[in-house]
Structure formats: C-alpha cells, structure tokens
Amino acid sequence: MKYKILFFFSIFIFSSNLNAKDIYLSCESIIDNIRADGGYLIEGNDGGKILVKIKNSKAEAFYILEEDGYQISFNEKIKKNKLGFSYSINWDDKEFKNSEEFKFIKPVDDYIYKRSSYFWAKSDGKETITDFDSSGRCKFVEKKYYIQTTKNIR
C-alpha cells in the first residue's frame, strides 16, 4: 500500500511539472482588419512578429519589426480554455488610451493567434488612432532565442 501511494504521488508531481513548463512563442503577424490606420497601416501587410512568454498562468508579449520593437504586455493573467488561452489589457490615462486583446488557439501542434489592438496618443489628435486586428501562426522557440531577441527592448 505504501508503494502504491508513493507511485501515485510521484505521477502527480511529474504531471504537474509538465503543466508548469514555460512556453515561448514567436508569432508571425499579418494585419487583417483596419478600423483606423493612424496614417500608416495597410491591410494584408506583414505586421512584424509577436514574441510571447507564458509562465505560471501569466503572459508577457513583445512586438518586433526588424530591429525595433516594444513590450506590449507585462505579466498579464491569462484565461485558459479548452482550445488555448487569452488575455486582455485596457489602459487609459491623460496621455494614452490603449486596449489589447490576445486569443491563442492550439488546434493541433502549433498555436495560432488573433490580436485586436487600439492605441491613441491623445496629444497627437484623433488622426493618429490605430485600431486593427492581426493574426498569424506561432511556433515554439527556445528560451535563449526569446531572451536574446527581446533584451534590447526591455
């Protein structure tokens, strides 16, 4: 009996460690639907890539276009569902209004994602508003690649 309990306990510990594994994703980004272009967005264009880290039910994401980029999200709580996970950010202050929504779905081996983004720098006027959707396929990447790619924009 003692060995059975030990056996089931070790299986439980092992399986919980598998679920606790950090996930690093690199997602291609194609601009799908533009509601406000801010003077520069073009539907169907390459929207750069999104790098995402999932750790302990929290997500951080970076937007990267060539050598430039910025951090989109910081340690946001994710909502898990049967198909994948999602999270959203809403921020509004005197200078900026920003809303981001991410949905990640894993149909088979890889993730696909959809992002809805709204951004307005209030001091620049309403003609600078960007409001668009983008989507793409994500591939798993190593932690080393993720850290190396994002280190200059942290």
Quote the pLDDT of residue 25. 97
Q: What is the pLDDT of residues 68-102, one digit of tens each?
A: 899 999 999 999 999 999 999 999 999 999 999 99
pLDDT at 6 exceeding the cut of 70:
no
Q: Which of 6-15, 44-53, 79-88, 136-145 has the lowest mean pLDDT?
A: 6-15
Q: Round to the nearest angstrom and report the end-to-end CA distance of the chain.
A: 52
**Sorting pLDDT into bands at 50, 70 and 90, what band is 148?**
very high
Residue 128 half-sphere exposure toward CB, CA atoms < 13 A: 11
Bridge partner list, 44: none
Quote the pLDDT of residue 65. 87
CATH dotted code for 22-153: 2.40.128
pTM: 0.80
Percent of the chain with pLDDT over 90: 66
**C-beta atoms surrounding 47 within 10 Å:** 23
Domain boundaries, the chain: 22-153
Give SS3 for 52.
strand
Beta sheet of 111-121, edge-to-edge order: 68-77, 58-65, 46-55, 23-37, 130-140, 111-121, 96-105, 84-92, 79-80
